[in-house]
Amino acid sequence: MSDDLDAKVLAATGWSPLRKALHASARGAAVKVIEFDGCGGRLRGVPLGLRTLSADESLRLRAEAFRWLSTECGFSADYIVGSADGESHLAFEVKVRTLALALVEPGGANAPVAKDADDLRKMLEADEVTQLFEAYLDWTAERSPISSAKTAEEVRDLVDAMGKAMAPTSRLSAYDSVSLRIIATELVNRVRALTNAPSSPTPSSSDTATASSDTSD
């Protein structure tokens, strides 16, 4: 479906801005172009692209990182998840596999820079992997501020800020689907609370008369 036709369909269905943003964010991975100097400035001036990963990709790469450390490196499961060094190796391999998927050539089809994790491991130095992964985390946190919310109160604060025009609703288009669903859930809970709240009873005429009599006494 073309963008113009898509927009006409959404307009015809009377979708809210929130539903439109949810629909748009589900159509493909978001990409951000970053500047990264690399070790010794070897990448200075070379634009790099980072794309978002789906929940399925994030889950699979963790399983693949564990499997690689076990089968290719010969580490036992107890070592990988039961020792500080093993957990450090696993965390680093997760970074490598995340970047193997997330690092793309900016523009056009956003093709991946590396063929796979092995290829990326050969391309980048260890410090570059760590720095690029931190840049990726910073960007995903910007896109998904709900993911860093510690309490339900922080989610409500964000909703309140947009409702009071303290934060522009245009920010919705930058959030990923998970954040938008959490915001929508918070709004549904608010409407439900208002609907279920008992209404104040209307005083009867006899109650009003009694109150007036007591006041005059």
- For residues 138 and 37, state if they share a domain: yes
Cα radius of gyration (the chain): 26
Same domain for 38 and 138, yes or no, is: yes
Structural domain contains residue 16: no
| Residue 112 sits in the same domain as residue 179 | no
Instruction: Confirm if 18 and 169 have CB atoms less than 8 A apart.
Output: no
Considering the chain, what is the average pLDDT of its residues? Answer: 78
With a CB cutoff of 8 Å and minimum separation 6, the contacts of 44 are: 35, 37, 38
Give CA–CA dist 67/74, Å, rounded: 10
Q: 54-84, pLDDT tens digit by residue?
A: 888 999 999 999 999 999 999 999 999 999 9
Same domain for 174 and 134: no
- Same structural domain for residues 44 and 70? yes
* Same domain membership, residue 137 and residue 63: yes
157 and 74 share one domain: no
Q: Are residues 33 and 48 in contact, defined by beta-carbon separation less than 8 angstroms?
A: yes
Instruction: Please state which of the ranges 99-103, 109-113, 118-122, 130-134 shows the lowest mean pLDDT.
Output: 109-113
Alpha carbon of 15 to those of 8, 9, 11, 21, 22: distances in Å? Answer: 11, 9, 6, 10, 11
Residue 48, domain CATH: 3.30.2220
How sure is the predictor about 149, in pLDDT bands with cuts at 50, 70 and 90? low
What number is the average pLDDT over the span 186-193?
A: 80
Distance CA 177, CA 184 (A): 10
CB 110 within 8 A of CB 20: no
Q: Are 60 and 72 part of one and the same domain?
A: yes
The arithmetic mean of pLDDT across residues 170-182, rounded, is 66
Q: Are residues 62 and 110 in the same domain?
A: yes
Over residues 24-49, mean pLDDT: 81
Residue 43 has pLDDT above 70, yes or no: yes
Residue 3, both tokens? 């963008």
pLDDT greater at residue 205 or residue 162: 162
Q: Is residue 134 part of a domain?
A: yes
Alpha carbon 154 to chain centroid distance? 15
Q: What would the DSSP string read from start to end of 91-113?
A: HHHHHHHHHHHHEE-SSTT--BS
| Separation of alpha carbons 84 and 104, rounded Å | 32
Q: From edge to edge, which strands make up the β-sheet containing 103-104?
A: 31-35, 47-51, 103-104
Highest mean pLDDT among 12-26, 46-60, 181-195: 46-60
**Domain shared by 110 and 170, yes or no:** no
Domain assignment of residue 152, given as a range: 145-196
Of residues 154 and 71, which shows the higher confidence score? 71
**153 falls within a domain:** yes
| Torsion angle of the four alpha carbons 125, 142, 151, 198, in this order, in degrees rounded to the nearest 10 | -160
Instruction: Read off the pLDDT of each residue in 198-207 and give the average, rounded to a whole number.
Output: 55
